[in-house]
Amino acid sequence: MIRQMREVIVAGNWKMHTTPADAGALAHTIAARTRVAGVTRVICPPFTSLASVGAALADGDPEVGVGAQNVHHELQGAYTGEVSAPMLTGLATWVIVGHSERRRDAGETDALIGQKLRRVIEAGLRPILCVGEQLAEREAGRQETVVRSQLRGALGDQAPAALEAARLVIAYEPVWAIGTGRTASGADAAEMAGVIRSALVDAGWSGRAADAVPVLYGGSVTSAVFAEFLAEPAIDGALVGGASLKVEEMAGIVARAALTATARLAAGPIARPVEAGT
């Protein structure tokens, strides 16, 4: 069987930084410094800056996608301060779902994340689903069990065909390597990318469809360490946190991603043995 060539994606998660007054200028500058072939670029500002970032990119580089950092699990209702998927239509085309900080700080469960994922897909938005284990889980050797459970809970009974049509992206976040001084290796990330794609097959995806899902790395990504992760064929880009607010860092990260995209294009699709369910 011939493996599909996966997208190379760099998504910047600005978290609770920037205001509408400065977000547009920052997005415009980052877009200008990262204009390369072969890399899908996404900027995820706070809700309040979605419009200004969208306007700046429409004028400067409309190929850069705009993403929201979260979404509510209901379409409407008495949910003060929340934002639903239909409200994002026209403001964003991507949505981050299940980020580790949402799981930790807002107590989001896999089932709730699954509801959010469903709403994102219904609204025609493209989801980035985050999964990853805590330090204690990694030290106990439970990382595979945890990530498989997160995927099983989030995907629930949603049809693989719908998720595939929505062009699902999965970000692996080793929570133990985010802001702790500890680092994950490229081999760690590649191993978990394999677990993620195996879990998709267990959820009813064909081997071909699971193999086509981009898996991003999301653990304190910087331009200095990114090369190690993209050297792994199983990793297809990054969900970048703090470094995504720094123009030079984003320029370096996207430049490295472009090298991978060019190399993959030159190499072409990769043949692998036919497996059951492909």
**Both tokens assigned to 156:** 């629930």
**Both tokens assigned to 19:** 């205001």
**Both tokens assigned to 196:** 């993620």
What's the mean pLDDT in 133-155?
A: 96
What's the mean pLDDT in 233-242?
A: 97
Is 99 an active-site residue? yes
- Of the candidates 99, 137, 232, 249, the residue annotated as catalytic is 99
d(CA 161, CA 164): 5
Give CA angle at 84 (90, 43), nearest 5°: 50
Judged by DSSP in three states, 76 sits in coil
Q: Is the pLDDT of residue 208 over 90?
A: yes
What's the mean pLDDT in 6-34?
A: 98
Computed over every residue of the chain, the mean pLDDT equals 94
What's the mean pLDDT in 215-238?
A: 95
**Both tokens assigned to 103:** 């799981």
- Of the candidates 101, 133, 137, 173, the residue annotated as catalytic is 173
Q: Do residues 200 and 210 lie in contact, with contact meaning Cβ atoms separated by under 8 Å?
A: yes
Residue showing tokens 């009974």: 157
- Entry pTM: 0.94
pLDDT at res. 20: 97
Q: Is the pLDDT of residue 275 over 80?
A: no
Q: Do residues 88 and 69 lie in contact, with contact meaning Cβ atoms separated by under 8 Å?
A: no
**Cβ neighbour number for residue 146 with a 10 Å cutoff:** 18
Residue (of 147, 122, 258, 273) closest to 211 by Cα position: 273
DSSP state of 244: G
pLDDT at res. 4: 62
Q: Is the pLDDT of residue 160 over 80?
A: yes
CATH number among 2.40.50.460, 3.40.50.2300, 1.10.260.40, 3.20.20.70, domain 111-219: 3.20.20.70
Residue (of 146, 242, 132) closest to 188 by Cα position: 132
Query: Which residues are within 8 A (CB) of 251 and not within 5 positions of it... i.e. 6 or more apart?
Result: 30, 33, 34, 223
Q: Which of 131-135, 256-260, 271-275 has the lowest mean pLDDT?
A: 271-275
Helix (H) or strand (E) holding 120: helix 110-122
d(CA 53, CA 83): 17
| pLDDT band per the 50, 70, 90 thresholds, residue 270 | low
Residue showing tokens 């030079």: 248
Q: Where are the domains of the chain?
A: 8-70+221-268, 111-219
d(CA 10, CA 57): 16
pLDDT at res. 276: 41
Max intra-chain CA distance, the chain:
54
DSSP 174-214: -GGGSSSS----HHHHHHHHHHHHHHHHHTT--HHHHHTS-
Q: Which of 95-99, 232-236, 269-273 has the lowest mean pLDDT?
A: 269-273
Beta bridge partners of 9: 40, 237
Q: Is the pLDDT of residue 274 over 50?
A: no
Q: What is the pLDDT of residues 100-116, one digit of tens each?
A: 999 999 999 999 999 99
Is 173 an active-site residue? yes
